[in-house]
Amino acid sequence: MSTEIRLLNEDPLAKGLFALATLAGFFAAAVYILLAYLLSDVVNRIFLEGQTLDDVLPGLYLMLLLLLIRGLAIWGRELFAQRCATTVKSSLRGQLSNQLFILGPLYTRAERSGELANTLVEGVESLDQFITQYLPAKALAVIVPALVFLVILILDPWTTLVLLVAGPMMLLILALIGGRARAITERRFLELSWMSAFFLDILQGLPTLKMFDRDREQAQNIQQIRDHYGNTTMEVLHTAFQSSLVMEWATTAATAMVALEVSLRLMNDALPFNIA
């Protein structure tokens, strides 16, 4: 069972909230596609068919209404996703606290209190962005492109062939870079957990260290750990920027291919303006 499914199974309410967030995001994307079609139709009717503002006024009113509906859908998506994250985090913290009480003080004394506290507070809190941003985006990244592909297939099958060539190439490149970024991020999270435990242990043992005149040595260790953590953070950022750059290049290349194909057909009157 994947991590996403196990998280959503922590509370029955979380599944429903996540489904509503995904549905609201899908509805917002569908409204956006409809807005784009209406806008192209209005431009076509004014500049090519010579219609007046009064002729296209109903279409403009409809676009304004759709903008309001899309805004509500986006707000609903964020609201449901945030409530889903709050529900999951509350359930996880409750389960972790109960498990620690069941294990008792014998277990907690044998463990590093800083690491336990970091897991219970920061570890669970870090799931907020994962649930509110990543999970809905992951679901919509599958659903929305399928919807766009279907719309393009209906309107212009020739452009669909271009997308079939450009799309998989971009996904392959992103998958290769994303796999490396994931490994680095997981390593950084483990280092953060260990560092939190180490710093708390140092604070708890500071009187003993000063008693034996070992505090300067630990200060040097802390500086080395800080530098290493900073280097790891920069490595994560470097990979993230690299991924963004490749995505921009791939998106630009795919857009250029589609724009060139559509422009040539439009110039030869092989494609209507509103469809283009």
**28 against 107, higher pLDDT:** 28
The number of C-alpha atoms within 13 Å of 78 and in the hemisphere containing its C-beta is 5
Residue 113 has pLDDT above 60, yes or no: no
Residues 6 or more apart in contact with residue 63 via CB below 8 angstroms: 35, 38, 39, 42
Domain spans of the chain, in order of start: 1-112, 156-276
Predicted local distance difference test score (pLDDT) of residue 35? 92
More confident residue, 95 or 140: 140
Q: Tell me: the pLDDT tens digits for 191-202?
A: 666 666 666 666
Strand, coil or helix: 146 = helix
Please provide the average confidence, as pLDDT, over all residues in the chain: 77
Q: What is the pLDDT of residues 7-51, one digit of tens each?
A: 777 677 888 888 899 999 999 999 999 998 888 888 888 887 778
Please state the pTM of the whole predicted model: 0.68
SS3 label, residue 92: helix
Query: What is the distance between the alpha carbons of residues 175 and 59, in angstroms, rounded to a whole number?
Result: 41
In this prediction, residue 210 carries a pLDDT of: 66
At 137-173, the pLDDT tens digits run 888 888 988 888 888 888 888 888 887 877 777 777 7
Quickly tell me which residue has 């057909």 as its tokens: 265
And the tokens for 173?
Answer: 């490149």
Q: Which two tokens stand for residue 1?
A: 């069972």
**Residue range 204-209: mean pLDDT, rounded:** 67
CATH match for 156-276 among 2.40.37.10, 1.10.275.10, 1.20.1560.10, 3.90.1010.10 = 1.20.1560.10
Query: Which letter does DSSP use for residue 271 in this model?
Result: S
